[in-house]
Amino acid sequence: MKQSTQGSAGPGTPQRRTGGGRVPAQARVADVLDAVRERGAALPAARGEHTHGERPVPGPRSAVQRSSVRGQILDALRTALVTGELKPGEVHSAPVLGERFGVSATPVREAMQQLALEGAVEVVPNRGFRVVERGARELAELAEVRALIEVPVMLRLARTVPGERWAELRPLAEETVRAAADGCPATYAECDRAFHRALLALSGNDQLVGVAADLHRRSQWPPVRHGRAYLVADAAEHMALLDALIAGDVDVVRGLVTGHFAGVG
């Protein structure tokens, strides 16, 4: 439950499995980049360029495909932030990153602009985007804002949501335990966000869930604590919190959620 170091998360299952085994984070990132390259190669046709006798692709499909490429680039960049591959203070240009991903500069630039909105990078005129250097004070401020939002909501839900509803979230908590054992910060960050998102979703307030998720993502970089022991302890708090919620023990819930945010930073 602590603010651990992720990438990217996107909606859905927080990690992919093959043949019942876990896929290493490096392989997952490589899969994303392979998919980006494949789509990048198809982009000219999607923009309406076609050979003689070939029907042009309709505009709406082009927009969807371009959005998909941008989304994959955004996921890859978020993962690189969480793992520390993109280091604070570094400046990256869209054309150079585009060559690295095998796509044009446009989807990279659009993904970087989204990261700028999220506070992860800042625009450097005529050069590209600089990864923001975030200090302990800013991380502590993020923790404080998260506490103001999440603590009262969790205490209210602990009093009103029946235990069987909380029990449905156990697979997500167990997923954080497995991710912590693997020791990959990017995978753990995805699972951590998925667990928190599911907890807050029981409030029925989509705006609250969205704001909390954005703050949570911002708090996961730069990576400051990557140790396996830290991740394992963090995941254990998830299990303890869920057990307290299922049991309806509001006092234990209060101690866990307030203690977590007080100890961050």
CA separation for the pair 161, 99 (Å, rounded): 50
The pLDDT assigned to 17 comes to: 42
The pLDDT assigned to 1 comes to: 52
Q: Is the distance from CB of 164 to CB of 119 less than 8 angstroms?
A: no
**CA-closest candidate to residue 175, choices 159, 191, 153:** 191
Q: Is the distance from CB of 157 to CB of 209 less than 8 angstroms?
A: no
**CA-closest candidate to residue 99, choices 128, 122, 119:** 128
The pLDDT assigned to 54 comes to: 38
Fold of 17-131: Arc Repressor Mutant, subunit A (1.10.10)
Domain limits, CATH 1.20.120.530, in the chain: 136-262
CA separation for the pair 82, 185 (Å, rounded): 7
Q: How far apart are the first and last CA of the chain?
A: 14
The pLDDT assigned to 34 comes to: 52
The pLDDT assigned to 260 comes to: 80
**Residue pointed to by tokens 């932030």:** 81
Domain limits, CATH 1.10.10.10, in the chain: 17-131
Per-residue pLDDT tens listing for the chain (265 residues): 544 444 444 444 444 444 444 444 444 444 545 544 444 443 333 333 333 343 433 444 444 455 688 999 999 999 888 888 898 999 999 999 999 889 999 999 999 999 999 889 999 998 999 999 888 888 889 999 999 999 999 999 999 999 999 999 999 999 999 999 998 888 999 999 999 999 999 999 999 999 999 999 888 877 665 578 888 998 999 999 999 999 999 999 999 998 887 755 4
The pLDDT assigned to 31 comes to: 52
**CA-closest candidate to residue 119, choices 210, 221, 3:** 221
Is the pTM here over 0.75, yes or no? no
The pLDDT assigned to 10 comes to: 41
Give the other-Cβ count within 10 Å of 142's Cβ: 21
Pick the CATH number of 136-262 from 1.10.1050.10, 1.20.1250.20, 3.40.50.720, 1.20.120.530: 1.20.120.530
